[in-house]
Amino acid sequence: MNLCIKDILKSFLFRLILLGIYSLGFYYGLYSDSISKQCEYYYFVCIIIDLLKVSWIATLPYLFLTHLGIFLYVPIIESQYKTIQTYSKVFNDRLYFRFVTRGTNNHTIRTNANEALNQCIKSLSNKINWTIEIVTDKELNLKFQNKNIKQIVVPSDYIPPNNVKFKGRALHYAVSASDANNNDWIIHLDEETRFNHKTILGILEHIRNNNDDYKIGQGVILYAPERIFTKFDSLKNISLTIQHWITTLADSIRVVDDYGRFRLQFEAQTSWFGIKGSFIVCKNLVEKQIGFDYGDDASITEDTFFALNAVEYKVKYAFINATMYESSPFTLFDFMKQRRRWIAGLWKVLKSPQLKLKTKLPLMFMVLFWSVSFVSWLVLIVIFIFRTSTNNIYSSFLGFIFVLTCSLYILGFLLSEPKKWIKTHGIIHWLLSFGLQIIGMPVFSFLEGISIVYWLVSPEQKKFEIVQKENDQVINDSIHIEETNKELSKCDIENNQKINYHLSSMIITPSTNLMIDNSCSKDKELNEIQDKKLEKTTKKIMLVNTLSLAKMKTHSSSQSKSQESLPKTPETPQLSTPSEIII
């Protein structure tokens, strides 16, 4: 990647700020110890408190890897992409944007598939082939008029050979049911995933660089500001502008995790810790060779199993410097269920004899530390209740870990497209959100810890729990899309009748162009869609007219030459000339 002077300065300042944060951590540890008093409780109580403080080390591997990633690969440096036209010259295959759903969130999938459709039409147009696939356990009545949206319904009696369940079952069925060829690329999406033009450019850049060596790519997922549902008008409705403030801001740490720990492994062209289940860009040939059917071991966290399995197949990875957008859980309990599913599924993967130990080892240490990390959050409470001092070296170390943890939440928030956030929702909204991010960090950390306790108390994972993904805004958007599609269908019928009539006469004049109109719709947005469809169809008919007229003129000219010796006949009326045709 070629860096300009501006990017070099940005990288230098970013790393300088990180070094300042690390120094602040050591200073904070020393300061907090200086205001603490010697342990005045029973000796064994003092020993227990000191031992509990050691538990903070459990978070150190995660913190170290994440900070190492953002220090080496500065996340504020944007990639420079080429134009769609340029990519179209080197990519002749097809992009498959594959949504996977159980079929229970009809409104969510309709809304986001419609958003994907609009983005593909706008960005890719006819320059690059694309298809949107919706893989579902239940047939959905989506009523899309575009032929590029296809629905793959997994038969209810479908049982893969190794009996993988849930999302893995649907993905494995899609590998054989899809009409994608070996050289096509699959972009995996969850029900609520959205993307923009820059995302598509990032995907195409990944394909351009890795079309021959089949690297699997993954980028960054943000949870704000794109997924803020309600416009901020006043302080009264600020609680409505993000679906759930606590869970959305708690997921800020996942943003910096993508830029740090996950990017670190992808830049090393491997996957030590697995991958996320969406924003995966993979060549179809790779998916066909590896598949998703690995039984119960791959039924909960099929994405991680697939990633580690791909490593054993010698498949390499790459980081995509672009973003997609998803929603955080709508409730605190859904947040806890989501984390419980992750850790339960990861342990299934780690216990699987189908994967080699050396492949699982990095993830094993990470999950092991994660499984006991809840103790470190409980220590925070103990320390505030029982204020005791420790030696200076250990105090500075604890302060260092504490500041590293807090900085990840703040960095994750600051990396969530602040310019776009402020432009869309205003500076007041962003500042209030930032304030809540700082104040709420103890709550977010405690929530992560209590989710681990929930898994320890109830570890059995017999089903694939899907969190709530629909609210009033999503349902209203979905209803509007359904009504739009119905009206578009009605317009299509009326306009097709007009087009067929004029097609039979093979003449289109200015007055005809006025007749083939979208007057059946009063919706301005609908009219714009119809305008584009009619313009495309009309141009095709006018081309036929032009060729027909040229052929008729040629025929008439040759006929007049052959009849020069014959008596002249009365002139016949002439058809419209090309100059009369509106293009």
User: At the top level of CATH, which class does the domain 92-388+426-470 belong to?
Assistant: alpha beta
Mean pLDDT across the chain: 81
Give per-residue pLDDT as tens, 368-405: 999 988 887 777 666 666 666 666 667 777 778 888 99
- What per-residue confidence (pLDDT) applies to 558? 53
Bridge partners, residue 325, by sequence: 194, 222
User: Which has more confidence, 133 or 572?
Assistant: 133
- What per-residue confidence (pLDDT) applies to 473? 63
* pTM beyond cutoff 0.85: no
Lowest mean pLDDT among 124-138, 272-286, 343-357, 522-536: 522-536
Measured distance CA(337)–CA(322) in Å, rounded: 28
Measured distance CA(464)–CA(166) in Å, rounded: 6
- CATH 3.90.550.10 residue ranges of the chain are 92-388+426-470
Q: What percent of the chain has pLDDT over 90?
A: 53
How would residue 503 be classed by pLDDT, with cut points 50, 70 and 90? very low
Measured distance CA(320)–CA(565) in Å, rounded: 76
- What per-residue confidence (pLDDT) applies to 467? 67
Give per-residue pLDDT as tens, 435-458: 999 999 989 988 999 999 999 998
pLDDT at residue 305 greater than cutoff 60:
yes
How would residue 83 be classed by pLDDT, with cut points 50, 70 and 90? very high
How would residue 256 be classed by pLDDT, with cut points 50, 70 and 90? very high
The 3-state DSSP class for residue 132 equals strand
Lowest mean pLDDT among 318-322, 369-373, 517-521: 517-521
CA-based nearest residue to 293, from 153, 158, 165, 463: 165
pLDDT at residue 175 greater than cutoff 90:
yes
- The answer for residues whose C-beta is within 8 angstroms of residue 430's C-beta and 6 or more apart is 418, 421, 422
- What per-residue confidence (pLDDT) applies to 156? 95
Instruction: Give the torsion sign (CA, 431, 433, 438, 439).
Output: positive
